[in-house]
Amino acid sequence: MTATPGAPSPIASLPNLRDVGGWPTVDGRVVRSGMLFRSTDFSSLDAADVAPLEALGLRTIFDLRSAHEREAIPDPALPGVANIGLDVLADAQMSIPANIGAVLADPAVVAQADEALSGGKARDMICGTYREMITLPSSTAAYTEFFRGLAGDTPTPALVHCTTGKDRTGWAAAAFLTLMGVSKDDVYRDYLLTNERLIPALKPIFDGFAAAGGDPELLVGVLGVDAGYLDAAFDEVHVRFGGIEGYFDDALGLGADEQEKLRARFLST
């Protein structure tokens, strides 16, 4: 059964969880549903939602967070699920996405840095991080293991997540869907769904940020997504590798055969 592309999360306390499948490809195929999910971390998971999470039948969780993030908020131990930690931004000097947990814990942290992040500075920093997700050795190693696992025998259904499920996870999903042959419009449509699903759930964070003297519009750029962020990553891919297949081949070491295995596993006619 094919899921509706971008369907709302089946788990109320994880509003940014969604099936990556269901999207049509430009050659008439469809990305298989129920095989790959994307999400935030599980810090907001209600006890009542553990059963619906287990009902997804997950076999593998790819955690793209730093060791510090994983220690602070470890993934739940789900029966029969292997957890693979892949620190995408380990080599980053400074990264807003890798420090989102601090923002969620204390919005005043960013409110105090309002001047440093205003005037487009936050946007520039995040765009820089998206470019680093293409170029950093730690990012290359993490995404190589992720995609090689999907192309190989890593058990599915699988779920990939970071903290808010929007940047490190956003690139994982966008690169995957692009390689599958999903149209650019739909790749961006999936990516931008985070703004509809996550931002409303973070209202208490926005309220605390405003109470601390911060500009809520600044926080939208930090906790939400923007097409320009994803543009930065794809621009880096095209400049360095000529396109998504070159990125998979030259950067991640997944040549034409492995790319075709990935498509064969995740596409249906």
Give the single-character DSSP code of 259. Answer: H
Instruction: Report in angstroms the alpha-carbon separations of 98 from 76, 145, 269.
Output: 20, 19, 38
Tally the residues of the chain.
269
* Res. 101: pLDDT tops 80: no
pLDDT tens per residue, range 13-44: 999 999 999 999 999 999 999 999 999 999 99
For 52-69, the pLDDT digits (tens) are 999 999 999 999 999 999
Q: Are the CB atoms for 37 and 158 separated by under 8 Å?
A: yes
Collapsed DSSP state (helix, strand, coil) of residue 77: coil
How high is the pLDDT of residue 257? 97
The Cα–Cα gap between 223 and 83 comes to 25
pTM of structure? 0.93
- The token pair that represents 67 in the structure block: 């060791």
| Residues 88, 92: Cα–Cα separation, whole Å | 9
| Residues sharing a CB contact under 8 Å with residue 159, sequence separation 6 or more, in sequence order | 17, 36, 37, 38, 39, 56, 58, 60, 61, 62
Q: What region does 149 belong to: left with phi over 0, alpha with psi -120 to 50, or beta?
A: alpha
Return mean pLDDT, the chain: 92
In angstroms, the CA 39 to CA 58 distance is 13
At 55 the three-state DSSP class reads: helix
pLDDT of 244 higher than 60? yes
Tell me yes or no: is domain 18-268 CATH 3.90.190.10: yes
Each residue's pLDDT tens digit, 123-162: 898 999 999 999 999 999 999 999 999 999 899 999 999 9
How far apart CA 168 and CA 111 sit, in angstroms, is: 24
What percent of the chain clears pLDDT 70, i.e. is strictly above it? 91
Nearest one of 154, 132, 161 to 64, comparing CA atoms:
161
AA letter at 189: R
CA max distance for the chain? 54
Contact of 171 with 147, CB cutoff 8 Å: no
| Ranges of each domain in the chain | 18-268
Query: Phi/psi zone of residue 23: left (φ > 0), alpha (ψ -120 to 50 degrees), beta?
Result: beta
Helices (H), the chain: 50-55, 67-72, 100-105, 108-112, 114-117, 121-135, 137-151, 168-180, 184-197, 203-211, 216-223, 227-241, 244-246, 256-266
